[in-house]
Chains A and B, each alone.
Chain A
Amino acid sequence: DAKTTQPTSMDCAEGRAANLPCNHSTISGNEYVYWYRQIHSQGPQYIIHGLKNNETNEMASLIITEDRKSSTLILPHATLRDTAVYYCIVYRGSTLGRLYFGRGTQLTVWP
């Protein structure tokens, strides 16, 4: 599975959009981009995933560039409860696949 690069930390004001970038320049055609987050002392939480097209759900939007070498997770109106470590993961999605978690981005939302 391809590796990802994310900033170590980011800040965001409450109520503003949080845009979390991820680079995955070695992604291959059958690999998906997944986003998870881990709020302190809790288990990781699935947010969203996509292959080529942009995706949106009740939690976030995922924007994938046309060449698929990078993506951005958007939390449209960040709240204090969105403070967490956000993981961008590239994953083939096969039964034998492994969901590898890197360092992620520590997002801190300020009041």
Chain B
Amino acid sequence: DTAVSQTPKYLVTQMGNDKSIKCEQNLGHDTMYWYKQDSKKFLKIMFSYNNKELIINETVPNRFSPKSPDKAHLNLHINSLELGDSAVYFCASSQGALYGYTFGSGTRLTVV
């Protein structure tokens, strides 16, 4: 029933580890996004994919690698995790640029 689902909801890991966050949408949308919300609550776009193709890479370190195996999935892999990567990561999708985005419930990543 969930429109945009992310797993896991919580992720606690040590510095230097590699982790992945998965995102799936069942809305049939063409475009998917990753956003990062830091401790100051700013929401910043990281990536945008349209029909499995990377459209936007908002100067994100190359330790972050998004992967879109199909239109309904956009996963985020993070290598060599750093303390500063601790944040809530939101996946979103939209039918087109003018339509509203549907966000997932977020993944709270804590790097210790």
Contact = CB atoms under 8 A, between A and B. Distances in A.
A44 B97 contact: no
Which range holds the interface residue count of chain B?
20 to 34
Q: A interface, by DSSP: helix, strand, loop or mixed?
A: loop
Nearest to B40: A103
Contacts of B45: 98-100
B98 A46 contact: no
Given A96-B56, A101-B42, A43 B100 contact: no
Nearest to A35: B100
A46 B50 CA distance: 20
Given A95-B55, A96-B55, A101-B42, A43 B97 contact: no
Contacts, number: 52
Contacts of B43: 38, 44, 101
Interface in B1-58: 4, 31, 33, 41-45, 48, 50, 55-56, 58
B103 A45 contact: yes
Nearest to A102: B42
B106 interface: yes
A93 interface: yes
A42 B55 CA distance: 26
Interface in A30-51: 32, 34, 36, 38, 41-47, 49
Which range holds the interface residue count of chain A?
20 to 34
B64 interface: no
Interface string A75-91: 00000000001000000
27 contacts: A36-B100, A36-B101, A38-B43, A43-B4, A43-B90, A43-B103, A43-B104, A44-B43, A44-B92, A44-B101, A44-B103, A45-B103, A46-B100, A46-B101, A49-B100, A92-B97, A95-B50, A95-B55, A95-B97, A96-B55, A96-B56, A98-B58, A100-B45, A101-B42, A101-B43, A101-B44, A103-B42
